[in-house]
C-alpha cells in the first residue's frame, strides 16, 4: 500500500472555517433519455447557488467573497470561468468574483479547500464552492489530447488513463480484493441508499430542477435517477466486465455515468455567528496525495493518513467516513489499508456513488453535505472525513469536526 512520510500535527492557524450548508440537484443518468438530456450544465450549478441563497436570507449577497465552481471537462456549457458565470447567472452582484477548478473527481473538494484556506488566512469571509458535471454532454476526456510523452517515455502505464482499467489493476495487485467482495459491497451500497431515502435522509439536501423536453414538455426533477433498489447478489453475479474480458469490474461495482451539480456555503466561524448562519461542520484539516496513476483508486489512503496526521488524529478517532465510490474495489482497498471491515457502519451510511451516481467534479460536496446531516444525527461522533480517489493517481481527504458533539466526545 502507498504511504506518505509522517507529517507533524499542525494546530489550526488563523480563523476557524465552518461548513454552513450544502445542496445538490437530483442526479440523472448521463444518456440521451436521461433526466438532464436537455438541461444546461451551468443551469444545474446556478440552481444550487440560488438555493443556498434562498435558504439563508440573512446572508447579504454582497458578503459572498468568491465563488469557486469545478468541472472536469471545461468546455461548452460548463466552461468559460464557471464560478464567475454561475455567480452572475445566479443573481449575485457584479462585485462577487468567481473562478473555475479542475482536479477531476476532486474538483468540488478542491473548490472547498481552496476557498476555505482563503477564509482561514483572513483574505475572505464567506465563499460558495461546488461543482457540476454533465457527463451526457461532456464525457470525461472528451477532446483531450494527452501528451504522447506519457506513453513514449513510460511516465504512466498504458491503461492509466482508463479509470475502469485502473480498478481492474487493483483487483490484480491485491488478491484479497475479490470480485465477490466487490459485488457484495455494490449491493450493500444500493441497500443503504434505499434505506436512507426511506428514512427521509436524502431529500432535504435536494433542490428541484425544472426540466424541458422537446417531446415530453415541462417537468420537475425531484429524485435521483441512477439508484437500482432491490439489487441482489444473484442479479449482479454474471454481469459483463466492460473494462477487460473476463475481468471483475462490472456495472454493479462501478459508479454510473451521471449528470448533476452540488454547491456549499463556507464561512469564518466568527462571521457565521455575526450573520446568524448555522454551523453544520468545522473544518479541521485536509490533504491531497499522489499515487501511481495505474492504481489511482489507492489515492485516498495516503491523503487520509496525511490529513489525520496533520489533525493529530488516527482512524480510531473517526466516527463517520464518507468515501466516494468510484468503484467498489477502490473503497475496499481503502478499508483494508485501515483494517476496517467491509460492513463497518461508519462507512457511507447513506450508500454511495455506486447507487446515487458520480457526476465527477460535484461529488466532493455531495460527500460533505451527507456528512453534515449525519453529524446532526450522531452527536456521539466528534470527527468524520470525506475522501475520494482522483483520476491520474491522486487522493483527497478533508477532516471535519461535529459541532453537535456531546458528552465525552465533545470534551476530548
Burial class (CB in 10 A: 0-12, 13-18, 19+), 275: middle
- Mean predicted confidence (pLDDT) in 1-12: 54
Say what the pLDDT of residue 374 is. Answer: 98
Closest-CA residue to 102 (of 83, 121, 126, 124): 83
Say what the pLDDT of residue 368 is. Answer: 98
Q: What percentage of the chain's residues is helix, strand, coil (to nearest 5)?
A: 35, 20, 40
- Out of 138, 378, 383, 389, the active site residue is 389
Sequence-ordered list of residues with C-beta below 8 angstroms from that of 10, at least 6 positions apart, any chain:
285, 310
* Residue 191 vs residue 11, higher pLDDT: 191
- Mean predicted confidence (pLDDT) in 390-397: 96
Measured distance CA(173)–CA(176) in Å, rounded: 9
Evaluate if residue 3 carries a pLDDT over 60.
Answer: no
Based on the residue annotation, tell me whether 264 is a catalytic residue of this protein: no
Say what the pLDDT of residue 364 is. Answer: 98
What would the pLDDT profile of 290-339 be if each residue is shown by its tens digit? 999 999 999 999 999 999 999 999 999 999 999 999 999 999 999 999 99
- Out of 105, 134, 138, 383, the active site residue is 105
| 8: confidence class by pLDDT, cuts 50, 70, 90 | low
Say what the pLDDT of residue 158 is. Answer: 82
Burial class (CB in 10 A: 0-12, 13-18, 19+), 98: buried
- Out of 171, 358, 383, 404, the active site residue is 358
CA gyration radius for the chain? 20
- Mean pLDDT is lowest, of 8-17, 183-192, 292-301, for 8-17
Based on the residue annotation, tell me whether 138 is a catalytic residue of this protein: no
| 7: confidence class by pLDDT, cuts 50, 70, 90 | low
- Mean predicted confidence (pLDDT) in 137-144: 86
Contact 241, 249 (CB under 8 A): yes
Pairing of strands 217-221, 209-213: antiparallel
Percent of the chain whose predicted confidence (pLDDT) is above 70: 95
Amino acid at each position: 500500500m502507498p504511504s506518505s512520510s509522517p507529517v507533524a500535527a499542525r494546530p489550526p492557524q488563523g480563523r476557524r472555517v465552518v461548513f454552513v450548508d450544502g445542496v445538490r440537484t437530483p442526479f440523472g443518468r448521463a444518456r440521451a433519455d436521461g433526466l438532464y438530456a436537455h438541461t444546461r450544465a451551468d443551469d444545474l450549478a446556478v440552481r444550487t447557488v440560488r438555493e443556498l441563497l434562498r435558504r439563508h436570507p440573512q446572508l447579504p449577497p454582497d458578503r459572498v467573497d468568491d465563488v469557486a465552481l469545478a468541472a472536469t471537462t471545461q468546455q461548452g456549457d460548463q466552461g468559460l470561468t464557471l464560478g464567475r458565470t454561475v455567480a452572475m447567472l445566479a443573481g449575485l452582484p457584479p462585485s462577487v468574483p468567481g473562478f473555475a477548478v479542475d482536479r477531476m473527481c476532486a474538483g468540488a473538494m478542491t473548490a472547498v479547500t481552496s476557498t476555505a484556506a482563503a477564509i482561514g488566512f483572513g483574505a475572505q469571509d464567506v465563499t460558495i464552492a461546488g461543482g457540476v458535471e454533465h457527463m451526457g454532454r461532456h464525457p470525461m476526456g472528451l477532446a483531450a489530447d494527452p501528451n504522447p510523452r506519457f506513453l513514449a517515455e513510460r511516465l504512466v502505464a498504458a491503461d492509466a488513463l482508463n479509470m475502469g482499467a485502473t480498478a481492474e489493476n487493483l483487483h490484480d495487485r491485491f488478491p484479497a480484493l475479490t470480485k465477490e467482495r466487490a459485488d457484495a459491497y455494490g449491493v450493500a451500497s444500493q441497500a443503504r441508499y434505499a434505506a436512507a431515502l426511506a428514512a427521509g435522509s436524502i431529500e432535504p439536501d435536494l433542490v428541484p430542477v425544472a426540466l424541458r423536453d422537446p417531446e415530453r414538455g415541462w417537468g420537475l426533477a425531484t429524485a435521483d435517477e441512477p439508484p437500482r433498489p432491490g439489487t441482489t447478489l444473484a442479479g449482479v453475479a454474471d454481469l459483463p466486465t466492460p473494462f477487460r474480458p473476463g475481468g471483475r469490474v462490472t456495472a454493479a461495482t462501478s459508479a454510473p455515468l451521471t449528470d448533476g451539480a452540488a454547491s456549499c456555503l463556507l464561512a469564518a466561524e466568527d462571521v457565521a455567528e455575526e450573520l446568524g448562519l448555522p454551523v453544520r461542520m468545522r473544518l479541521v484539516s485536509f490533504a491531497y496525495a499522489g499515487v501511481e496513476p495505474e492504481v489511482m483508486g489507492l489515492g485516498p489512503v495516503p491523503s487520509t493518513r496525511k490529513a489525520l496526521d496533520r489533525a493529530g488524529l488516527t482512524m480510531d478517532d473517526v466516527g463517520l467516513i464518507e468515501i466516494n465510490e468510484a468503484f467498489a474495489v477502490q473503497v475496499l482497498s481503502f478499508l483494508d489499508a485501515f483494517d476496517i471491515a467491509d460492513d463497518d457502519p461508519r462507512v457511507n451510511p447513506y450508500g454511495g456513488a455506486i447507487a446515487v451516481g458520480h457526476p465527477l467534479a460535484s461529488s466532493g460536496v455531495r460527500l460533505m453535505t451527507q456528512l453534515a446531516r449525519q453529524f446532526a444525527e450522531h452527536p456521539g461522533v466528534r470527527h468524520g472525513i470525506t475522501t475520494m480517489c482522483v483520476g491520474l493517481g491522486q487522493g483527497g481527504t478533508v477532516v471535519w469536526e461535529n459541532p453537535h458533539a456531546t458528552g465525552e466526545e465533545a470534551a476530548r
